[in-house]
């Protein structure tokens, strides 16, 4: 699925800004949703709506809301086909053009679009209504449960801790494409000696003959370095410059549709980084060199805008990642805005790309609160429908992000209940890429949720477990979560839990263990920054495991991590420059 792009054959109209906004009450009929919203609330797009208003009813709303605005189709689009594109409607979206329903989408973090050419003429205005629903049930991804209390009020619960922010948290677009256009592009890269290979498939409108598809690849100076023609093929780049972690290099892979008399009909470009990924024994190789992941599990989360994409925060977060020496992050626990993926491509930051399948583990909450565990994999809990939603989430994530050089691993689910009866039946059909399914990602909280405060006992347990996995599978392992809640500014001479000193000691303990385990190929701490959660007795204004506060101020631990990760970086650079010079 191609992100809308302005090219010489395509136009883009951004629909961000203030939209009319209203909650939908349960007795309002769907037919009424498209009626013009009069002088009521206005909500910013992109932003989650929950924290923008002061009304608690909006903050806690469970169900549908609607956004509405006027849009004009540019008058020059008479020869074009045009679409409305929604980057994310969390978790279900319905789009209406005037009174006509045009598309529904389920899944809160992947884009969707609808053609509206037949509904509005160029130069005409129309009323665009987007209804968004935030309900989570046992058949959604992520799953949740809705209870109705005695007063008729709906209450949403879910098994992940981050707050269920909702609304239009990413951009909305109106865009045009020519009648005969490029629908999709897939690029897969390889390296042969000093040459780079881009294998590609271009899907164009049915009426376009393959020979009318032309490919050219340009380097960062705009110089053409390879050409091809046809819907499928290969482009060879001599003396290729590789996309490297920390040193991104991106070619532009440009596909064109030309008419029989060679006129340009459509053109679209994909940024392509040439690099290889391989798991060999217990090592993870990027461009044939062992890679050690340092960095974060993150969240899209900031004050007021919730999960709303914000380029200022994005750039600032990447600055902080550079400062601290991080080379990677995981899109925990859902696909992030596409702008973030593009930026990671350009910054050379490595990404573990995760679906929104989080909270598929009912034993965790019974473990925390006591009581008998409900089975996770059953007809009443996560069932075939949940799995189908999970499969769809994987398909949509891969369709959106397959061309990003930054993505080196797909994470199909966070902490599913993998050892419970039924887990194999749930996951086997999802496992389309089982031959690549060979890195163990572990989230561990020894010293926090277990052996609380006793780091000596925690160290022994952690090492014992990691050695066990190493012996059992011999596969590379990444610690994808480990962390301790820490209140910025709280200090303790006894290094007590919640203090900044404890957080430092906690991480130092993990790192001692990581350094003793051969198969460890990385560490991503939990979490980059403090973030908002649902109301829980063990959360005070959110999860405080951030290395930075929610407004991105460093806790003491940030300096400890910086020292370690900068050291790892320097060592990797030394080793790779040494191995480069010996190869030459």
Catalytic site positions: 415, 481
Instruction: Output 163 or 526, the one with its CB closest to ligand GCB.
Output: 526
Instruction: Output 161 or 388, the one with its CB closest to ligand GCB.
Output: 161
Instruction: Output 232 or 536, the one with its CB closest to ligand GCB.
Output: 536
Task: Write down the least CB distance from residue 415 to ligand GCB, Å.
Answer: 5
Instruction: Output 139 or 443, the one with its CB closest to ligand GCB.
Output: 443
- Residue pair 391/426 in contact by the 8 Å Cβ criterion: no
Residue 179: count other Cβ atoms within 10 Å of its Cβ. Answer: 12
Instruction: Output 19 or 526, the one with its CB closest to ligand GCB.
Output: 526
Task: Write down the least CB distance from residue 157 to ligand GCB, Å.
Answer: 15
- Residue pair 165/90 in contact by the 8 Å Cβ criterion: yes
Instruction: Output 159 or 324, the one with its CB closest to ligand GCB.
Output: 159
Task: Write down the least CB distance from residue 149 to ligand GCB, Å.
Answer: 27
The two structure tokens encoding residue 365:
């909450």
The two structure tokens encoding residue 497:
């839990």
Residue 302: count other Cβ atoms within 10 Å of its Cβ. Answer: 24
CA dist 297 and 354 (Å) reads 10
Confirm or reject binding of residue 298 to ligand GCB (CB under 6 A).
Answer: no
CA dist 113 and 175 (Å) reads 10
Pick the closest to residue 270 from 88, 120, 401 (CA basis).
Answer: 401
Return the residue of 87, 353, 415, 500 that touches ligand GCB, per CB under 6 A. Answer: 415
Binding mask of the shown chain, residues 458 to 497, with x at each position contacting ligand GCB by CB under 6 A: -----------------------x----------------
Task: Indicate the helix (H) or strand (E) that contains 405.
Answer: none
Phi-psi domain of 469 (left: phi exceeds 0; alpha: psi -120 through 50; beta: other): alpha
Cα of 320 vs its chain's centroid, Å: 19
Q: In 3-state terms, what secondary structure has residue 251?
A: strand
Task: Write down the least CB distance from residue 142 to ligand GCB, Å.
Answer: 10
- Residue-wise over 232-247: b if at least 16 C-beta within 10 A, else e? eeebebeebbbbbbee
β-partners of residue 12 are 175
- Residue pair 404/338 in contact by the 8 Å Cβ criterion: no
CA distances from 11 to 17, 77, 175, 203 (A): 19, 9, 6, 20
Instruction: Output 171 or 413, the one with its CB closest to ligand GCB.
Output: 413
Q: Looking only at residues 130 through 189 of this chain, which bind ligand GCB when binding is defined by CB under 6 A? A: 160-161
Task: Write down the least CB distance from residue 237 to ligand GCB, Å.
Answer: 40
Q: In 3-state terms, what secondary structure has residue 169?
A: coil
Task: Write down the least CB distance from residue 443 to ligand GCB, Å.
Answer: 5
Instruction: Output 85 or 160, the one with its CB closest to ligand GCB.
Output: 160
Task: Write down the least CB distance from residue 352 to ligand GCB, Å.
Answer: 13
Task: Write down the least CB distance from residue 395 to ligand GCB, Å.
Answer: 23
| Phi, psi (degrees; rounded to nearest 5) at 274 | -90, 120
CA dist 305 and 531 (Å) reads 12
DSSP code per residue over 66-97 = EEEEEEE--TT-TTEEEEEEES--BSEEEEEE
CA distances from 259 to 181, 265, 462 (A): 11, 6, 63
Return the residue of 214, 258, 545, 564 that touches ligand GCB, per CB under 6 A. Answer: 545
Pick the closest to residue 436 from 398, 384, 386 (CA basis).
Answer: 398
Confirm or reject binding of residue 524 to ligand GCB (CB under 6 A).
Answer: no
Return the residue of 48, 90, 267, 414 that touches ligand GCB, per CB under 6 A. Answer: 414
Secondary structure letter of residue 109 according to DSSP: T
Confirm or reject binding of residue 443 to ligand GCB (CB under 6 A).
Answer: yes
**Residue 122 CA neighbour count, 13 Å, CB half:** 11
Residues in the interface with ligand GCB (CB under 6 A) total 10
Task: Write down the least CB distance from residue 480 to ligand GCB, Å.
Answer: 9
Q: In 3-state terms, what secondary structure has residue 272?
A: strand
β-partners of residue 290 are 285
Instruction: Output 443 or 556, the one with its CB closest to ligand GCB.
Output: 443
Pick the closest to residue 18 from 41, 48, 50 (CA basis).
Answer: 41
Instruction: Output 415 or 501, the one with its CB closest to ligand GCB.
Output: 415
CA dist 399 and 407 (Å) reads 13
Confirm or reject binding of residue 361 to ligand GCB (CB under 6 A).
Answer: no
CA distances from 473 to 469, 476, 519, 556, 564 (A): 6, 9, 10, 36, 28
Task: Write down the least CB distance from residue 517 to ligand GCB, Å.
Answer: 20
Q: Looking only at residues 308 through 337 of this chain, which bind ligand GCB when binding is defined by CB under 6 A? A: 333
Confirm or reject binding of residue 543 to ligand GCB (CB under 6 A).
Answer: yes
Residues near ligand GCB (CB under 6 A):
160-161, 333, 414-415, 443, 481, 526, 543, 545
């Amino acid at each position: 699925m191609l992100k809308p792009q302005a090219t010489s054959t395509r136009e883009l109209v951004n629909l961000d800004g203030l939209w009319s906004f209203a909650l939908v009450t349960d007795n309002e009929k769907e037919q009424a949703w498209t009626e013009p919203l009069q002088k009521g609330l206005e909500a910013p797009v992109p932003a989650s709506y929950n924290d923008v208003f002061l009304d608690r009813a909006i903050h806690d709303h469970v169900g549908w809301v609607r956004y509405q605005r006027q849009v004009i189709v540019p008058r020059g689009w008479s020869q074009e086909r045009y679409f409305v594109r929604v980057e994310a409607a969390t978790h279900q979206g319905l789009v209406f053009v005037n009174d006509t329903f045009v598309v529904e989408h389920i899944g809160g973090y992947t884009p969707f679009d609808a053609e509206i050419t037949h509904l509005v003429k160029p130069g005409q205005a129309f009323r665009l209504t987007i209804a968004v629903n935030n309900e989570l049930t046992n058949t959604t991804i992520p799953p949740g449960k809705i209870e109705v209390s005695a007063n008729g009020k709906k209450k949403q619960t879910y098994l992940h801790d981050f707050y269920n922010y909702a609304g239009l948290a990413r951009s909305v677009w109106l865009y045009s494409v020519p009648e005969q256009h490029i629908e999709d592009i897939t690029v897969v890269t390889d390296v042969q000696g000093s040459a780079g290979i881009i294998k590609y498939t271009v899907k164009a409108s049915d009426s376009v003959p393959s020979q009318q598809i032309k490919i050219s690849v340009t380097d960062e100076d705009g110089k053409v370095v390879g050409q091809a023609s046809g819907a499928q093929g290969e482009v060879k780049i001599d003396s290729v410059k590789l996309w490297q972690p920390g040193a991104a290099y991106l070619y532009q892979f440009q596909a064109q549709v030309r008419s029989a008399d060679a006129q340009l009909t459509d053109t679209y470009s994909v940024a392509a980084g040439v690099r290889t990924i391989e798991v060999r024994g217990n090592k993870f190789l990027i461009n044939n060199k062992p890679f050690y992941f340092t960095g974060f599990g993150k969240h899209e989360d900031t004050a007021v805008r919730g999960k709303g994409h914000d380029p200022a925060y994005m750039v600032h977060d990447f600055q902080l990642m550079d400062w601290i020496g991080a080379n990677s992050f995981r899109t925990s626990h859902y696909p992030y805005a596409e702008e973030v993926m593009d930026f990671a491509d350009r910054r050379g930051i490595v990404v573990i790309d995760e679906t929104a399948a989080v909270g598929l583990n009912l034993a965790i909450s019974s473990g925390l609160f006591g009581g008998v565990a409900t089975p996770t994999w059953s007809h009443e809990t996560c069932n075939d429908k949940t799995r189908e939603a999970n499969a769809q989430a994987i398909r949509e994530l891969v369709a959106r992000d397959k061309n990003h050089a930054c993505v080196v691993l797909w994470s199909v689910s966070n902490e599913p209940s993998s050892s419970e009866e039924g887990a194999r039946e749930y996951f086997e059909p999802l496992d389309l890429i089982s031959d690549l399914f060979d890195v163990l990602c572990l989230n561990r909280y020894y010293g926090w949720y277990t052996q609380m405060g006793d780091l000596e006992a925690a160290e022994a347990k952690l090492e014992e477990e990691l050695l066990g996995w190493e012996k059992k599978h011999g596969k590379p392992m990444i610690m994808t979560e480990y962390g301790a809640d820490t209140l910025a500014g709280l200090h303790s001479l006894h290094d007590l839990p919640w203090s900044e000193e404890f957080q430092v000691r906690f991480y130092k303990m993990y790192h001692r263990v990581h350094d003793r385990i051969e198969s460890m190929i990385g560490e991503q701490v939990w979490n980059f920054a403090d973030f908002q959660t649902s109301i829980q007795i063990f959360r005070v204004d959110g999860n405080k495991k951030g290395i930075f506060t929610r407004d991105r101020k460093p806790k003491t631990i940030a300096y400890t991590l910086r020292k370690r990760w900068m050291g790892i970086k320097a060592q990797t650079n030394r080793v790779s420059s040494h191995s480069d010079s010996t190869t030459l």
